[in-house]
Amino acid sequence: MELNEKTVTALVARIVADLQGPVADVPIGVSNRHIHLTREDVETLFGKGYELEKIKDLKQPGQYACRETLTIVGPSMRPIEGVRVLGPVRRRSQVEISRTDSFQLKVKPPVRESGDLDGSAPITIIGPRGTVTLPEGCIIANRHIHMGLSDAARYGVIDGDYVTVDALSGKRTRWYDVQVRVSDAFTLEMHVDTDDANAAGIGNGALVSIVKE
């Protein structure tokens, strides 16, 4: 291992964390089913020149919930209505659902990092002015933690690491293989979907701990 400054800082932080033991200080953000759209698909679904309307900033800087909701349909032809659009627009359209949602839709989405869409499940999105059928783009988002550079140093992790997380409130739960995403643009928050949150008996703002094994 090359002992550069970044590596030494991470090692020191990890040793300190091991001595202190687990501390529940990572807030949970529960992610309900939602849709990310390209500019082209926004115009197909809502009309040419349409602009999404922001109604609420999300915790991660630059991300927000939009007023607009859409309907998604899979092979079962049993639609799920009122699926929230999140902004801003993206390079590829994407639908994130839970495993429970997949049973109603009869789709088989893989568990993936957001944006990793190659070979994912097809899905149809229905809007007030048009329909978009994605040949791939439906996933179940993996469990992950957003954190800034200072938080990463404190926990002794780097971008792309996988950690174990304990939820000690609600129904005591341990999650393995939680991906760490590090950027100076991120705010500390772990994202789980509604299935995970319900199974653990926790909600938005609950605190969980990163376990050093």
Give the CATH number of the domain where residue 162 resides: 2.40.40.20
- 38 & 131 share domain: yes
Q: Which domain holds residue 197?
A: 20-29+143-211
Residues 47 and 134 both lie in one domain: yes
Task: Judge if 136 and 167 occupy the same domain.
Answer: no
**117 and 70 within one domain:** yes
Among 59, 22, 32, smallest CA distance to 205 is for: 59
Whether 40 and 129 map to the same domain: the answer is: yes
Q: Are residues 77 and 168 in the same domain?
A: no
Of 141, 159, 190, which residue constitutes the final position of a domain? 141
Positions of the chain with pLDDT lower than 50, given as ranges: none
Domain assignment present for residue 179? The answer is yes
Q: Which pLDDT does position 23 carry in this prediction?
A: 79
Q: Tell me how far apart the alpha carbons of residues 121 and 108 are, in angstroms, rounded to a whole number.
A: 6
∠ CA 20-13-158 to the nearest 5 degrees? 125
Inter-residue long-range contacts of 100-107, CB under 8 Å, 24+ positions, other chains counted? 100/194, 100/195, 101/33, 102/74, 102/140, 104/74, 104/76, 104/78, 104/80, 105/72, 105/73, 105/74, 105/75, 105/76, 105/78, 105/80, 106/74, 106/75, 106/76, 106/78, 107/74, 107/75, 107/138
Are 56 and 64 contacting, i.e. CB atoms less than 8 angstroms apart? yes
**What is the reported pLDDT for 130?**
98
DSSP string, 158-190: -TT-EEEEEE-SSS-EEEEEEEEEE-TT--SEE
User: Do 46 and 116 fall within a single domain?
Assistant: yes
Q: Do both 136 and 39 map to the same domain?
A: yes
In a domain, 11, yes or no: no
Q: What is residue 21's predicted lDDT score, i.e. its pLDDT? A: 56
pLDDT digits (tens, 9 = 90+) for 175-213: 999 999 999 999 999 999 999 999 999 999 999 999 976
Residue 145, classified by CB atoms within 10 Å of its CB into exposed (0-12), middle (13-18) or buried (19+), is buried
Beta-carbon count within 10 A of 38 CB: 15
Residue 2 resides in a domain: no
81 and 164 part of one domain: no
pLDDT digits (tens, 9 = 90+) for 99-121: 999 999 999 999 999 999 999 99
Task: Say yes or no: 206 and 189 in one domain.
Answer: yes
DSSP 208: E
Domain boundary at 141, 167, 191, which?
A: 141
Global pTM reads 0.85
Considering the domain architecture, whether residues 128 and 185 belong to the same structural domain is answered as no
Same domain, 195 and 116: no
Residue after which a domain boundary falls, among 141, 162, 182: 141
Q: Looking at this protein, which amino acid is placed at residue 193? A: D
Residue 194 domain-assigned (yes or no): yes
